[in-house]
Structure 1
């Protein structure tokens, strides 16, 4: 495993982050394909054995059960001081007017709830899952600063927003001497590259680590166009992100396949290698529902694409509608 600094910090993270949205109790989540605890633990154990030290979950994943399952596994298999554990806050966790969002009340309540479920005294990275249009950013940034100063989080990050919003949050923190975001978890892959327009240049300028989610476009970059999986047939979020541009994306997927075949490697190696060679990308967030998914992702670290291969992969891309946030 290779390790990099997380943005402009001294924190070392593995160049792959294991995303834990696939772990939880299916009956308490909108995705019927998530893995239960028995099937999750071997994947987490294998990730640790492979040198992955960076794990990402969220309070909303499977109604908190992802945090519970991940927390128990890491407590059993890992040295907490070596694990970089991230979780997120924003989406509704209970009914009522204060059950979601990024108010001071919500943030200070939800960090405690997450820590309890995770079975730890602190998280290494506390991420706002979306932009809250109903709460002043000053209130959010001050509350996050208090979370860090109280020792409940080491760093803070953001996810899925417009570049102008992220810049505003960074400015507010700097102006008031509050903790700044160190990472941006955004939507980025070979068939969705809209983040290259503004967010990636901003992160490069501000020395922010980019930790892309959906790096394989929910698996579309790794299989034949006609092939389906249980997830692809039932994941409505995936359909909303990619179905509208499926025909335009097909050529990109076919070029991933062609380069992989020529090199004699799995397609996942090519899709991840493209991301890993981007200057601002620290650690793509990979999902795994099988041990083989994890092993294939780790293998991508040894791939170095040529400029000609990168150009071949990027050339067919067409502009896409913004998806993932509003």
Structure 2
């Protein structure tokens, strides 16, 4: 496993980051693994040298952090792990149970530390942009969390580039901790973050750590999986002809290269300019093995061009306009064979 610096920090992380949305309790989502099934998958990732573990309080409403924490903290010394978690989405029905207010961020970091079983988080991330809280309040609170030692660094996920830039500007203007990483959705079927977010991060020395490299499983050739049948995000994001055309192209190229479509789709993300470490989700140890093996393959520029030729632009994916996204049309009059 190769290790690289996370953005403009000295923190070294593996080229693959273990995403943990699939670990916790199926009571939250039917495709989530319980602790007994989750632990061997997590341990296989650690055995491969993946030291970068991404969590969120929202995953299984806290149970995910508990399951992952027990699996990793007892397996390796804490200093060998790079643990992240996120806060923003509501963890309860109260008016202050979500968002990026000072109150909620302080409550969230303390609750996450307790659930994970650690004294600090390596990267504490905001899971989205809070329209209802002043940016100055959020960035001051994050800075105080870093200064208190409860987090070493801060990061962000899923927002417009102008929102991310505004938050960083406020931090820089006040001499506060700045974000070192942006976790955004990026894959061969969704590339809109390459317009503004990725170039901004490259310019500012911020790590790009994409999630959903397989487009919720579509690019792995598993559109009929339990998750895709029950995860409404899959239908919202990838239920269009362009996504299907891209998936077919990935399948054709992968067959020619004699590798799995999932490995080609993952390698596509790993090779994108600006990408530092790519999140991988898994529901079996074999899927971890396949993801690590993908790092050994090197498709050609022509292979990628065959995939990229089917892409057409679409609306940016975020929490503000998912219900009003404009369906995109395929680039070509007929879909891929």
Q: Please tell me the TM-score bracket, short chain as reference.
A: over 0.9
The 5 Å alignment of 1:79-228 reads 79-223=77-221, 228=224
Residue 273 (structure 1) aligns with = 267
Preserved CA contact (<8 Å) 1:216 1:222: yes
Q: Cα RMSD between the aligned structures?
A: 1.0
The 5 Å alignment of 1:224-239 reads 228-239=224-235
Preserved CA contact (<8 Å) 1:187 1:324: no
Runs of at least 5 residues in structure 2 that lack an aligned partner in the other structure = 321-337
Residue-by-residue CA offset, 1:102-159 (whole Å, 9 max, x unaligned)? 0000001110000000000001010000000000000000000011010000110000
Residue 314 (structure 1) aligns with = 308
Residue 107 of structure 1 aligns to a residue whose secondary structure is helix
Runs of at least 5 residues in structure 1 that lack an aligned partner in the other structure = none
Alignment partners' CA distance in 2, 1:166 and 1:299: 33
Residue-by-residue CA offset, 1:270-312 (whole Å, 9 max, x unaligned)? 1111111122111111110011111111011112222211211
Residue 290 (structure 1) aligns with = 284
Preserved CA contact (<8 Å) 2:18 2:45: yes
TM-score of the superposition, structure 1-length normalised? 0.96
TM-score of the superposition, structure 2-length normalised? 0.93
Alignment partners' CA distance in 2, 1:178 and 1:305: 42
Residue 5 (structure 1) aligns with = 5
Q: Verify: 1:21 aligned to 2:21, yes or no.
A: yes
Q: Verify: 1:63 aligned to 2:57, yes or no.
A: no
Preserved CA contact (<8 Å) 1:159 1:185: yes
* Displacement of 1:32: 1.1
* Displacement of 1:324: 2.7
Residue 257 (structure 1) aligns with = 251
Residue 168 of structure 2 aligns to a residue whose secondary structure is helix
Preserved CA contact (<8 Å) 1:157 1:181: yes
Alignment partners' CA distance in 1, 2:186 and 2:49: 24
Count of residues paired in the alignment: 320
Alignment partners' CA distance in 1, 2:145 and 2:79: 19
